[in-house]
Amino acid sequence: MTDMSPQTLHLEPGDEVVLKYLGAAVVLQWQSLPDPVKASLLRQANAVGGLPLAGELQDSIKALIERVRS
């Protein structure tokens, strides 16, 4: 299992747009990802610092993926 210790992400100007595209690509490919990769991505998301808090992150991620699938 990969170490998922908290890490802070230091963004530079314009990085938010890049993250949106990368995040959109992950969401659009979610169903084709192996379950261990999905679990790893969710654990990593919980360990990222330096971004605005998103409340119940796991629930928000799952809701977004479900909305995209429909």
User: Domain-by-domain residue ranges, the chain?
Assistant: 33-70
Give the whole-angstrom CA distance, residue 61 versus residue 4. 18
| pLDDT in the model for residue 37 | 95
Asked if residues 7 and 49 have their Cβ atoms less than 8 Å apart, the reply is: yes
Per-residue b or e along 33-70, where b marks 16 or more CB atoms closer than 10 Å to that residue's CB: eeeeeeeeeeeebeeeeeeeeeeeeeeebeeeeeeeee
Q: What is the pLDDT of residues 2-55, one digit of tens each?
A: 667 778 888 899 898 999 999 999 999 999 999 999 999 988 888 887 777 777
| pLDDT in the model for residue 55 | 75
| pLDDT in the model for residue 11 | 85
Residue 70 scores a pLDDT above 70: no
| pLDDT in the model for residue 69 | 78
User: Is 0.85 surpassed by the pTM of this model?
Assistant: no
